[in-house]
Amino acid sequence: MSATVLSAGIAGSRSRAAPAWPVGWIAAVAWFGIAALIMVWPDADDLGRTPLLAAVATGFGGVILLLALLSTSPRLAPRLEPFRAAGPWLLVLALALGAWELVTAKLDLLPRPFFVAPQSLLEVFTDDWPRLSDSVWNSLLLVLPGYALGAAIGFLFGIAMGWSRLVGYWAHPVVRLIGPLPATAWLPIAFFAFSSSHGASTFLIALASFFPVTVLTWSGVSSVSKAYYDVARTMGASPWFLVRKVAVPAAMPSVFVGLFMGLGASFSVLVVAEMMGVKSGLGWYMQWAQGWAAYANMYAALLVMALMCSGAVTLLFYLRDRLLSWQKGLVRW
Partner 1 sequence: MVNGARLEVRGVSHAFTLEKRLLPVLEAIDFTAEPGEFVALLGPSGCGKSTLLRLAAGLEPPTTGQLLVDGAEISGTDPSRTIMFQDPTLFPWRTVRGNAQLGPEARGTLRADAGRIDEVLSLVGLASFADALPHQLSGGMAQRAALARALVNQPRLLMLDEPLGKLDSLTRLAMQKELVALWEREGFTALLVTHDVEEALLLADRVLVLSDRPARIRADIRVGQPRPRRRDDPGLVALREEILGLLGMAEAA
Least separation in angstroms between CB 244 and partner 1: 10
Alpha carbons 162 and 220: distance in angstroms, whole number: 8
Question: How big is the CA angle at 11 (ends 9 and 12), to the nearest 5 degrees?
Answer: 60
Residue nearer to partner 1 on the CB measure, 40 or 227: 227
Residue nearer to partner 1 on the CB measure, 100 or 229: 229
Alpha carbons 264 and 143: distance in angstroms, whole number: 11
236 torsion bin: left (phi>0), alpha (psi -120 to 50), beta (else): left
Least separation in angstroms between CB 103 and partner 1: 52
Least separation in angstroms between CB 229 and partner 1: 9
Residue nearer to partner 1 on the CB measure, 98 or 220: 220
Alpha carbons 83 and 85: distance in angstroms, whole number: 5
Distance between start and end Cα atoms, the chain: 10
Question: Within a 10 A sphere around the Cβ of 144, how many other Cβ atoms?
Answer: 14
Residue nearer to partner 1 on the CB measure, 36 or 232: 232
Question: If we measure between CA atoms, which residue out of 146, 183, 141, 138 comes closest to residue 282?
Answer: 138
Residue nearer to partner 1 on the CB measure, 228 or 260: 228
- Residue 208 near residue 260 (C-beta atoms within 8 A): no
Least separation in angstroms between CB 250 and partner 1: 7
Identity of the amino acid at 66: L
Least separation in angstroms between CB 227 and partner 1: 5
Least separation in angstroms between CB 241 and partner 1: 5
- Residue 212 near residue 254 (C-beta atoms within 8 A): no
- Residue 48 near residue 119 (C-beta atoms within 8 A): yes
Least separation in angstroms between CB 282 and partner 1: 38
Least separation in angstroms between CB 236 and partner 1: 4
CB burial string 43-52: b at 16+ within 10 A, e below: beeebebbee
What count of residues does the chain have? 333
Instruction: Note if the bond before 182 is cis, omega within 30 degrees.
Output: no
Alpha carbons 35 and 94: distance in angstroms, whole number: 9
Chain positions contacting partner 1, by CB under 8 A = 225, 227-228, 230-238, 241, 245-246, 249-250, 252, 324, 326-328
Least separation in angstroms between CB 234 and partner 1: 5
Residue nearer to partner 1 on the CB measure, 126 or 238: 238
* R_g of the chain, CA atoms, integer Å: 26
Residue nearer to partner 1 on the CB measure, 16 or 328: 328
Residue nearer to partner 1 on the CB measure, 174 or 227: 227
Alpha carbon 26 to its chain centroid, in Å, reads 30
Residue nearer to partner 1 on the CB measure, 167 or 330: 330
